[in-house]
Amino acid sequence: MSRRVIAVAVLGAFAIVAAAHLVFQVVAPDSAFTDVSQWFLMPLLALGLVLLTSSPRSRLVVGTLVALGFSWLGDTTPDVVDGDASFLVLVGFFLCAQLTYIAAFLPYRQESVLRTRPWVVGLYIAAVLAMIAVCASAAGALLVPMAIYASCLAAMAVLATGVNRPAAVGAVLFVVSDALIAVRAFVDGLELPGLGLWIMATYIAAQALIVRGVLTAHDRRGWAYRSSSSLATVTDVGASSDG
């Protein structure tokens, strides 16, 4: 069995687990399955990326794999940590993921909006300032860590524009997902229907699109991601779920 066939199977499993997780976010958001299914998402996506690339892997691929690893720790570790420490652990591991993505995308900065359309950077800065402003009154001692994380998130999204469009769209969805998490954590009395579903739908689509973009950049011929209909399907479904 070829690596490509195995990769299609792995990414198909990712799509199935992602779909099941999103369904349970609606019908049973507090169930054990909802938590456990989230644990498998990033490992399956990372394994698909490994199978669709070969050694020596580029800095972009290696950095993405490390970022997916930190994301997995952010998905799982808070489940075994109690109280306020749970949120701090989540933010800490995802901050490591954003810093790793920044390092991976940095070589593409010349093609990013930093050089091609500097005015667009202002939109990312505005998004960060809006996120901080909305949550500032309730964040308390967490305001500074949240501001640092939001700034790194925006930097990652800006640099992703230099990789290609799928990575850039994925990075924007990452911003949306984390903004929704911040709203849920710090804005009291605001009840948004299906918030857990939207957080996870945008998060899953974000990571899948980033991986799809990385595969495209890794091999300019594009055979890697086109050969995996599972990855194309899950990113398209995730993107449509977001709006």
Prior bond of 145 cis (ω within 30°): no
In the prediction, which pLDDT does 128 show? 85
In the prediction, which pLDDT does 232 show? 54
Residues 201, 240: contact at Cβ < 8 Å? no
**Which of 153, 75, 64, 72 is closest to 100 using CA atoms?**
64
pLDDT per residue of the chain (243 residues) written in tens, 0 to 9? 788 899 999 999 999 999 999 999 999 998 999 999 999 999 999 999 999 998 888 999 999 999 999 999 999 998 888 777 888 899 999 999 999 999 999 999 999 998 889 999 999 899 888 888 888 777 777 888 888 999 999 999 999 999 999 999 999 999 999 999 888 888 776 677 788 999 999 999 999 999 999 999 987 644 433 434 445 544 554 444 443
In the prediction, which pLDDT does 228 show? 42
Q: Whole-angstrom Cα distance, residue 240 to residue 243?
A: 6
In the prediction, which pLDDT does 39 show? 96
pTM metric for this prediction: 0.87
In the prediction, which pLDDT does 8 show? 93
In the prediction, which pLDDT does 82 show? 79
In the prediction, which pLDDT does 94 show? 96
CA atoms in the 13 A half-sphere facing the CB of 189: 2
Q: Enumerate the domain spans of the chain.
A: 3-241
Three-state SS annotation for the chain: CCHHHHHHHHHHHHHHHHHHHHHHHHHCCCCHHHHHHHHHHHHHHHHHHHHCCCCCCCHHHHHHHHHHHHHHHHHHHHHHCCCHHHHHHHHHHHHHHHHHHHHHHHHHHHHCHHHHCHHHHHHHHHHHHHHHHHHHHHHHHHHHHHHHHHHHHHHHHHHHCCCCHHHHHHHHHHHHHHHHHHHHHHCCCCCCCCHHHHHHHHHHHHHHHHHHHHHHHHCCCCHHHHCCHHHHHHHHHHHHHCC
In the prediction, which pLDDT does 93 show? 96
CA 154 to chain centre: 13
